[in-house]
Amino acid sequence: VKLRDMNTSDANDNTDMKCFHFLCILDSDDIMHPTRIAEQTSAMMSLGYGEQGKHLSENALMGCQFERLPHDSTWHYATWANSLSDKRVVLEQFREC
C-alpha cells in the first residue's frame, strides 16, 4: 500500500511517497467484512510517527472482533477472543484454537 504522508511533503511532490507493508490474515473459513482492510489500514496510519521518525505501525499488531456464522457456534471461543485486552492480544498472537 503506498500512502502519502501529507505532513512531510507538498501535495504535488512525489519524493516523499512512503510505502507501508501490512499483513492481513484470513483463514479459509473466514468471511471478511467488505471494509475491513480500509478500516484497519486507516487505523494503523493514524498511529503517526515516533520520536526517531519511524512510523509507529512498523512495530504494531492489530486485531479485530469477529462474528461466528452461525452466530451461536463456538460461543465460548468468540466470547474469549473478543474480550482480550491489548496486552493479551500480543501474548496470544500465535495461538490457534
Q: Decide if 55 contacts 49 (C-beta within 8 A).
A: yes
Return all residues near 45 (Cβ < 8 A) that are at least 6 apart.
Answer: 3, 20, 57
Distance between CA atoms of residues 81 and 67, nearest Å: 11
Considering the entire predicted model, what is its pTM? Answer: 0.59
5-47: pLDDT as tens digits: 555 545 555 555 677 888 888 877 778 889 989 999 999 999 9
Tens digits of residue pLDDT in 50-94:
988 888 888 888 888 777 777 777 888 888 888 988 888 888 877
Distance in angstroms (rounded) separating the CA atoms of residues 71 and 13: 49
Q: Which residues on neighbouring strands pair with residue 19, listed in sequence order?
A: 2
DSSP class of 88: H
